[in-house]
């Protein structure tokens, strides 16, 4: 943090998650969170202390189609609010994970 133009960052937030079984080997899940980040120093380029609020939500399915294999499609939405315009963004990410468990 000593080399960052904004200094260190204090973080507060919360996360919640949920999962439900839809059928044998098929699960619906959701997770979301809110995080507040407050920086220590004034940003010399924008002459304010950076203050961010990030919100995210993930929704997806987990399907175990064989005992050692699962497929997990999910979509995640992230929004970062900031009092410094260049640090504001919205992001959507879609991914599919194929996983094998080795026992």
Is residue 53 within 8 Å of 80, Cβ to Cβ? yes
What pLDDT shows up at residue 78?
Answer: 98
Each residue's pLDDT tens digit, 17-70? 999 999 999 999 999 999 999 888 888 778 888 899 999 999 999 999 898 999
Q: Is the dihedral of CA 64, 70, 74, 80 positive or negative?
A: positive
Query: Which is nearest to 19 in space by CA: 6, 7, 8, 30?
Result: 30
**What are the distances in angstroms from CA 81 to CA 15, 33, 64, 84?**
17, 14, 37, 9
Query: Do residues 29 and 59 touch, judged by C-beta distance below 8 A?
Result: yes
pLDDT value of position 17: 97
């Amino acid at each position: 943090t000593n080399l960052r133009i904004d200094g260190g960052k204090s973080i507060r937030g919360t996360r919640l998650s949920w999962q439900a079984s839809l059928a044998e080997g098929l699960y619906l899940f959701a997770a979301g969170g809110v995080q507040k980040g407050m920086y220590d120093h004034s940003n010399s380029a924008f002459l304010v202390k950076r203050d961010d609020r990030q919100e995210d939500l993930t929704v997806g399915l987990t399907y175990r189609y064989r005992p050692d294999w699962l497929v997990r499609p999910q979509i995640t939405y992230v929004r970062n609010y900031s009092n410094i315009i260049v640090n504001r963004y919205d992001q959507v990410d879609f991914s599919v994970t194929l996983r094998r468990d080795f026992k």
